[in-house]
Structure 1
Amino acid sequence: MRQNTHLRIDTALCGTPVELSTGRAVVKLTTSPAMAADDRGLVHGGFVFGLADYAAMLAVNDPLVVLGAATVRFTAPVAVGEELVAEAGLVEEEGKKRLAEVTVRREETTVLTGTFTCFVPPRHVLDT
């Protein structure tokens, strides 16, 4: 399946798609020193969230998809140099609204779970 959304995303910050099918996406990210929040190499949660968000957008895979809301839970810390894998799947589609469930793992350890509420508007959100 062809990627139709977020074509200009920086994969060094948000991950690289490795699987893409209807209603499903898998994205990998290796965390870098630029993502560290402290001297011990703790990765700032915003980068983990960005990975999860990108996976949700790819699960929808519409050029106009935007994030409306997210409920996430961070369940384990992430350190610089670790590889994360985000798996996203659509669980609901109603009108413009799409719900995606996302799990981010480091090997067998879940580091984030979340529900992402996405919308597919009729035109680009910057076209007002």
Structure 2
Amino acid sequence: MSRRIFYEHESDSRIMLKKDKKELESWTESLDFIGEEMNYLITIENLMLNDHGLYNELLNMRRENTLKSGIMYRYETSNLNAHECDDMACDSYYLNNHEKHRDLYLEHLGKYRALKRKLLSKILLKVKR
């Protein structure tokens, strides 16, 4: 059974705030999972490949993920005042800020997926030998 998030009596701006909050929760949850997964990937790389360049890329990605997580958690805290907007300029600020954070998250996710793909393909090549 799905939980209802939006109601007919709510204003468009209130609905947007709720939607943005749910999206941000999804981003932070995803970044937390990536952080956990990075620990596994680093260990696997170390045990199977021992490729110093790739190992350093993984360490850098884990550090970047930690930084991005911090940015998103700070954004979540700063976003608590968004419901107090009473004019279009304020609404526009929060909307643009949210879009900036979405772009940051999606760019990071793309880089992470590319690095993960690189690691997995190298493991497959090694296993096939």
- Identify the TM-score tier after normalising by the shorter chain: under 0.3
Could you tell me the TM-score, scaled by structure 1's length?
0.28
Task: Decide which structure has the larger Cα Rg and report it.
Answer: 2
Could you tell me the TM-score, scaled by structure 2's length?
0.28
